[in-house]
């Protein structure tokens, strides 16, 4: 005698729910992967950037070339050419090259740092300059200055740089030697305190303060040559 087996309907879990479970699992996996990618993109990386022929290295967590350049004090309005493009993603292997508009790299500025350009062209000097620039950038990022009461009106003008010792100093025709000033970069808000210890530059240059290279590097990449500043006595 043959007894027919009773047929039970398939469990809803194995027929209708499986596609939904699989889709939910894929969604969870995608969210996890996006979290990993986002954390990776926020990891600090050292980026080599050549600005008007001078190469420096800066630490950054920026995701794009444009945000990185703005972070170190080069807004889009000052850029003439850049490679890779501003919207390109930034990775630890990225090498950025920037040429700023002519008014920031005229003959006056070129005369100031011509000796440095020759020096960094040599391999040993170039490596030393890059290491020093990275250290100065980290120090500048970590440095914070307390608010102070101005002892003069706030002046607005242009600052350039030259090399004269290793101190936080500058040349001025406006103030006597020994005058202490607070100088603020109008493009990125970075600020420094300096002491006037030299006379110059000439009035016809249009430059109000000639900052020592060490001081200028705390406000902006030296490859910019000139920056817009405001300053007052402290």
For residue 83, what is the domain's CATH number? Answer: 3.10.20
Q: In sequence order, what are the residues at sequence separation of 6 or more whose Cβ sits closer than 8 angstroms to the Cβ of residue 75?
A: 69, 187
CA nearest 212: which of 187, 192, 232? 192
How far, in Å, CA of 1 to CA of 4, rounded? 10
Q: Would 12 be classed as within a structural domain?
A: no
Of 104, 125, 140, which residue constitutes the final position of a domain? 104
Q: What distances in angstroms separate CA 232 from CA 179, 183, 192, 198, 208, one per listed residue?
A: 10, 7, 11, 17, 12
Angle at alpha carbon of residue 83, lines to 123 and 227, rounded to 5°: 80
Q: Which residues constitute the domain of residue 180?
A: 155-233
Neighbours of 103 (CB within 10 A): 12
* pLDDT tens string 123-149: 556 666 666 666 665 555 545 788 899
Q: Would 39 be classed as within a structural domain?
A: no
Overall number of domains in the chain: 2
Q: What confidence score (pLDDT) does residue 124 get? A: 53
Q: What confidence score (pLDDT) does residue 138 get? A: 56
Q: What confidence score (pLDDT) does residue 108 get? A: 46
Q: What confidence score (pLDDT) does residue 11 get? A: 52
For residue 160, what is the domain's CATH number? Answer: 2.40.40.10
Q: What confidence score (pLDDT) does residue 23 get? A: 65
The structure tokens listed for 55 are 């190469």
Q: What confidence score (pLDDT) does residue 55 get? A: 86
Helix (H, G, I), strand (E, B) or coil at 181: strand
Q: What confidence score (pLDDT) does residue 35 get? A: 60
Same domain, yes or no: 164 and 229: yes
Q: Would 7 be classed as within a structural domain?
A: no
Which residues of the chain are modeled with pLDDT < 50? Answer: 108, 113, 115-117, 120, 142
Q: Would 162 be classed as within a structural domain?
A: yes
SS (H, E, C) 135-176: HHHHHHHHCCCCCCCCCCCCEEEEEEEECCCCCCEEECCCCC
Same domain, yes or no: 166 and 228: yes
Q: Would 11 be classed as within a structural domain?
A: no
Q: Would 109 be classed as within a structural domain?
A: no
Of 104, 131, 146, which residue constitutes the final position of a domain? 104
Q: Would 135 be classed as within a structural domain?
A: no
Q: What confidence score (pLDDT) does residue 133 get? A: 65
Q: Are 61 and 227 in contact (CB under 8 A)?
A: no
Q: In sequence order, what are the residues at sequence separation of 6 or more whose Cβ sits closer than 8 angstroms to the Cβ of residue 3?
A: none
The pTM (predicted TM-score) of the whole model is 0.58
Of 104, 121, 136, which residue constitutes the final position of a domain? 104
């Amino acid at each position: 005698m043959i007894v027919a087996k009773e047929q039970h309907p398939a469990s809803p879990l194995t027929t209708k729910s499986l596609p939904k479970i699989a889709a939910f699992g894929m969604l969870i996996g995608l969210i996890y992967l996006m979290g990993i990618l986002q954390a990776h993109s926020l990891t600090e990386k050292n980026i080599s950037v050549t600005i008007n022929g001078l190469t420096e290295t800066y630490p950054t967590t920026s995701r794009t070339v444009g945000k990185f350049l703005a972070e170190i004090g080069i807004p889009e309005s000052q850029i003439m050419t850049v490679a890779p493009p501003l919207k390109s993603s930034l990775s630890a292997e990225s090498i950025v090259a920037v040429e700023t508009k002519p008014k920031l790299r005229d003959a006056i500025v070129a005369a100031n740092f011509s000796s440095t350009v020759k020096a960094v062209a040599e391999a040993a000097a170039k490596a030393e300059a890059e290491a020093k620039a990275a250290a100065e950038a980290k120090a500048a990022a970590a440095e914070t200055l307390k608010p102070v009461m101005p002892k003069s009106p706030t002046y607005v003008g242009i600052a350039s740089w030259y090399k004269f010792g290793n101190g936080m100093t500058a040349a001025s025709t406006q103030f006597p030697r020994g005058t202490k000033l607070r100088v603020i970069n109008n493009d990125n808000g970075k600020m420094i305190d300096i002491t006037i210890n030299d006379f110059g530059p000439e009035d016809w240059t249009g430059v109000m303060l000639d900052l020592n290279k060490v001081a200028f590097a705390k406000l902006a990449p030296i490859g910019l040559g000139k920056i817009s500043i405001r300053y007052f006595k402290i």
